[in-house]
Amino acid sequence: MESDVLITIAGTLGRTALVRKADLPLNANQAVSIVRLVNPQKLDLLFIVYALNASAIQRSLVSQKKITAIPNLTLEIISDCCIPLPPLAEQHRIVYKIKELMPFVDKYAISSAGLEKLNRGFPDMMKKSILQMAVEGKLVEQRPEEGTGEELFRKIQEEKAKLIKEGRIKKQKSLAEITEEEEPFGIPESWIWVRLNEVSTIVTGGTPSKAHAEFYGGPIPFYKPADIQSTPYMNSVSETLSAQGGEHARIIPSKSIAVSCIGNIGKSAMLPSDGTTNQQINSICYYCFPEYMYWYTQSPLFISQLVERASMTTIPIVNKSKMETCLFPMPPMEEQKRIVAKINAVIPVIDMIAT
């Protein structure tokens, strides 16, 4: 009936509503209690609803709930519920004041929710900002005595040529030179833009056949994307390979950067020791300072490049050849170390703020 007060008594307890003429005809199921007032004309019905919604009344009701498979309130509990009842004129004034204040309460709730969202996202936003400053050359000052990225690049090329001659790595295909249009932002004069494969060797992992039991169980860690968490190093593995299995999966050297390249692309972590990975991971076998390469892979610059290069099938995939083309802003080696030291000092402070 019009002017009935409805109270939920099963599952979500104590929620109230007033039946209006526009709601009729209306049926209520067994999870709802119908409160029919003796003389609704003598009361301000909205005051009754507001009173029942008051936190003290709600706590009183919920504290008496019956614990069954679904928590519930009995009709007896509802009948015995006490509410304060001022004179009718005061009821009207209270309802008027609540209606007057409710828009401000709603605005506060929206502002509070926005602030809470900002607080939750603040640490992540700060980390991204710090890492973006790092790869733009804005986190530490440049020192002429530390040389240039160009000089480091030449040393890396010499080292790669030596490893190719020794048969330890394969010669890579030359990629297109980087044009000014490709450069996403300016970097210090002592830095140099290179493609990732020019200063590293990228290796895609593999999974040895399960049909060969002798490939599994041994001293070699076998990493998967699930082992990449929010820490610089990979988690302990749940699976290992034998020496034979390692040959099939390809050994990745310690402190290489493992990057998830299927599904949740871009998650990265360093290998704490020599190990292997499955085919869902591309590993950057470093020639730069490994910790700097790790933080580069955490930066918005690297993540955005992976997303741009991903094949948008049912599951996003970034293959080895596309990852090799990513742009890498390379500072001199000593500056890389200073950048890492600065990041390592700042990140724990951000994490402390988050907690």
Per-residue pLDDT for the chain (355 aa), expressed as one digit of tens each? 888 888 888 877 888 888 888 888 888 888 888 888 888 788 888 888 888 888 888 888 888 888 776 778 888 888 888 888 889 999 899 988 988 888 887 777 777 676 676 567 677 888 899 999 999 999 999 999 999 999 999 999 999 889 888 888 888 888 889 999 999 999 999 999 999 999 999 999 999 888 898 999 889 999 999 999 888 998 888 889 998 888 888 899 999 999 999 988 899 999 999 999 999 999 999 888 899 999 999 999 999 999 999 987 778 899 999 999 999 999 999 999 999 999 999 988 887 776 6
The domain of 34 spans: 5-85
For residue 106, is it within any domain? no
Q: Given 36, 66, 85, which residue is the final one in a domain?
A: 85
- Give the CATH number of the domain where residue 42 resides: 3.90.220.20
Could you tell me if 300 and 166 lie in one domain?
yes
Element (H, E) at 220: strand 216-223
Q: What is the pLDDT of residue 53?
A: 85
Could you tell me if 63 and 137 lie in one domain?
no
Could you tell me if 62 and 161 lie in one domain?
no
Could you tell me if 199 and 326 lie in one domain?
yes
For residue 297, is it within any domain? yes
Question: Cα(275)–Cα(222) distance, rounded to whole angstroms?
Answer: 6
For residue 186, is it within any domain? yes
Could you tell me if 69 and 172 lie in one domain?
no
Cα-based torsion angle of the residue sequence 64, 15, 38, 78 in order, rounded to the nearest 10 degrees: -10
Could you tell me if 155 and 80 lie in one domain?
no
For residue 151, is it within any domain? yes
For residue 155, is it within any domain? yes
Comparing C-alpha atoms, which of 136, 272, 232 is closest to residue 191?
A: 136
Could you tell me if 337 and 258 lie in one domain?
yes
Could you tell me if 310 and 161 lie in one domain?
yes
69 DSSP 8-state letter: S
Q: Given 23, 57, 85, which residue is the final one in a domain?
A: 85
Could you tell me if 137 and 248 lie in one domain?
yes
Number of domains in the chain: 2
Q: Given 60, 85, 110, which residue is the final one in a domain?
A: 85
For residue 118, is it within any domain? no
Q: Return left, alpha or beta for 137; rule: phi > 0 is left, psi -120 to 50 is alpha, else beta.
A: left
Contacts of 313 (CB under 8 A, 6+ apart): none
Could you tell me if 49 and 150 lie in one domain?
no
For residue 303, is it within any domain? yes
Cα-based torsion angle of the residue sequence 130, 136, 141, 144 in order, rounded to the nearest 10 degrees: 150
Comparing C-alpha atoms, which of 139, 112, 160, 201 is closest to residue 335?
A: 139
Q: What is the pLDDT of residue 119?
A: 63
Neighbouring CB atoms inside 10 A of 29's CB total 6
- Amino acid code (one letter) for 25: P
Cα–Cα distances in Å, from 165 out to 61, 161, 227, 268, 284?
80, 6, 34, 30, 20
For residue 253, is it within any domain? yes
Widest distance between CA atoms in the chain:
98
Could you tell me if 164 and 232 lie in one domain?
yes
Could you tell me if 75 and 146 lie in one domain?
no
